[in-house]
Structure 1
Amino acid sequence: MPTPQRHTPSQPDSAFPTGPFRFLALDVETANHDRGSICQIGVACVRPDNSIETWVTFVDPQTATWAFTGLHGISQKTVRGAPFFADALAMIEAPLQGVTIYQHSGFDRSAFRAACAGLQRSEPDWTWQNSVTVARRAWPELKGNGGHGLASLKRHLRLSFDHHDAGEDARAAAEVVLLAEQAHGRSVCFHDT
C-alpha cells in the first residue's frame, strides 16, 4: 500500500475526484462531544485498479467549544476561512451518491446525521457500510487481542497513517477493506452488512 501523505489545508486541496470508484471510505473529526461539530472531513476514493485518491477539507463547525484539539490538533484558528458544514456537504453530496461508503465504526454516519439535523435537513441517502465489520470477519483472531479499531489494525496490518486526521483515517479504512479482500481473495463490497 502506498504511504498516505498528510493533508492540512484550510480549503479543499482540489475539487472532489471524479469516478468511477469501486468504493469510498469516509472519516470525520469533531471539535467536541457534539457529533455535529464536524471540523474535518476526509474521503478516500478507491478506483477500479484499487488506487486510492484522498480528498480532505477542514470545516468550520461554528462553535466556541474545542474539547478535542489535543486529540487531532485542529482548533478554531485552523478552520478559519474553511467552509461551513453546509458548503462542505454541497461539495460531496452528489459524488458520494450511489457509491458504497465505508466508515470505521458508526461514528461518522452519526456525525453527518447530527450535522444535517443542525441544518434542519435529513442526512444524504448514501449507502453506508462498516469497515470494522469487514475487519472482524477478515481477522477474527484480533478479538480480545487488541481489537479491530484503527490503532490496533495499524499495528497488525502494518498500516502507515497519522491517526485522528480525517483524510488519513479514511485512507486507512479503505486500506483495511482492500487488505481484507486480499486476505480472502474476493471483493467484500456490498457483502458486509
Structure 2
Amino acid sequence: MIPIPLKPPYRFIAFDVETANRNAHSICQVGLACVDDWGQIDTFSLLVDPDEAFSAFNTELHGIDAATVRGQPQFPAVIAAIAPLMAQQPIVQHSSFDQRAVAAACGWHGLDVPALHWVDSVTIARRAWPEFKGNGGHGLGHLKTALSLQFQHHDAGEDARAAAQVVLCAEEKTGRSFVEILAKQGAKSPRVFHSAATYYEPFE
C-alpha cells in the first residue's frame, strides 16, 4: 500500500489530476489539498505511471514525461490508496474534468468507480464573484490574478491547493460555507458530511 502522509479528519479535499495525453484515463499525477476545520491545508501529490505514451503538448503543459514516471505506481494502486480518505468528505474539483478522468481510468483498468461526493469550485467561484463573468472568467488562471493566489499552474498538487484556496476565499467573501453557497432552495438532504468539529448538510 502506498503511504499517504495525511492526518484526517478534513472538512473537504480539493483534488486535481494531470494526464499524459488527450485520453482522460491517462492520469500521470494526482494532487490532494486537504482542508481542516481551521482552514489549514495539507497538500500531497503522487506521480502515476499511465503505461501509455505522453503527448508533447501535455508534457509542455505540466513538465511530466515517460522518464519522470518510470518506476512510479500505476493508477489501480494509487486509487486504492487514496479512495478511502477521499470518501470521507466532499471532493472539490475545478471543473468536471477530474471526476471524468477518475471514472475513465477506473473503466480503463476494470475497476469500480469510487463513490465520492464531488463539488465544483467553478460553480462556487461563479456564485461568489459573478462580476468575473465576461471579465476574465472563473478559470484558475484568472482567479490566480484576481484573488492573488500563489501556485504553479498545471501541477496537480498546486492546482488542488489553488482550488481549495478558491473555496476558502469564497467562504470569506460571502460569509457562508461552501455548502451554503451551493445550496438550492428546497434541496433534499439524504446525507450529512462531518468532521471533528463541524457538520455540513449535503446539497444537490
Q: Give the superposition deviation at 1:90.
A: 1.0
**Alignment counterpart, residue 163 of structure 1, candidates 153, 159, 182:** 153
**Alignment counterpart, residue 51 of structure 2, candidates 46, 50, 62:** 62
Q: 1:169 to 1:82 in 2, by over 3 A?
A: same
Equivalent pairs, count: 181
4+ residue runs of structure 1 moved beyond 4 angstroms? Answer: none
Q: Find the aligned partners of 1:164 and 1:170 in 2 and give their Cα distance.
A: 10
Aligned residue for 2:42, secondary structure, equals: strand
Kindly indicate whether residue 34 of structure 2 is the aligned counterpart of residue 45 of structure 1.
Answer: yes
Report the equivalent of 2:114. 124
Structure 2 unaligned spans of 5+: 183-203
Q: Deviations over 1:170-189 (max 9, x none)?
A: 00000000000000112113
The residue identity in structure 2 corresponding to 1:151 is G
Report the equivalent of 1:107. 97
Q: Find the aligned partners of 1:170 and 1:100 in 2 and give their Cα distance.
A: 13
TM-score of the superposition, structure 2-length normalised? 0.86
Kindly indicate whether residue 7 of structure 2 is the aligned counterpart of residue 15 of structure 1.
Answer: no
Aligned residue for 2:171, secondary structure, equals: helix
Q: Find the aligned partners of 1:91 and 1:66 in 2 and give their Cα distance.
A: 27
Kindly indicate whether residue 81 of structure 2 is the aligned counterpart of residue 91 of structure 1.
Answer: yes
Aligned-residue CA RMSD (Å): 1.3
Aligned residue for 2:178, secondary structure, equals: coil
The residue identity in structure 2 corresponding to 1:127 is H
Q: Give the superposition deviation at 1:20.
A: 1.0
Matches within 5 A, 1:138-149: 138-149=128-139
Identical amino acids, percent of aligned pairs: 51
Q: Give the superposition deviation at 1:15.
A: 1.9
Q: 1:40 to 1:186 in 2, by over 3 A?
A: same
Structure 1 unaligned spans of 5+: 1-11
Q: Deviations over 1:2-45 (max 9, x none)?
A: xxxxxxxxxx7x62412110100000000000000000000000
Q: Is the CA contact 1:100–1:190 (under 8 Å) kept in the aligned structure 2? A: no
Q: Find the aligned partners of 2:11 and 2:179 in 1 and give their Cα distance.
A: 8
Q: Give the superposition deviation at 1:133.
A: 0.2
Q: Give the superposition deviation at 1:66.
A: 2.7
Q: Deviations over 1:113-156 (max 9, x none)?
A: 10000111221000000000000000000000110000010010
Q: Deviations over 1:47-76 (max 9, x none)?
A: 111100001000000002334101100000
Q: Find the aligned partners of 1:180 and 1:35 in 2 and give their Cα distance.
A: 29
Q: Find the aligned partners of 1:38 and 1:70 in 2 and give their Cα distance.
A: 15
Q: Find the aligned partners of 1:118 and 1:190 in 2 and give their Cα distance.
A: 36
TM-score of the superposition, structure 1-length normalised? 0.90
Q: Find the aligned partners of 2:53 and 2:97 in 1 and give their Cα distance.
A: 22
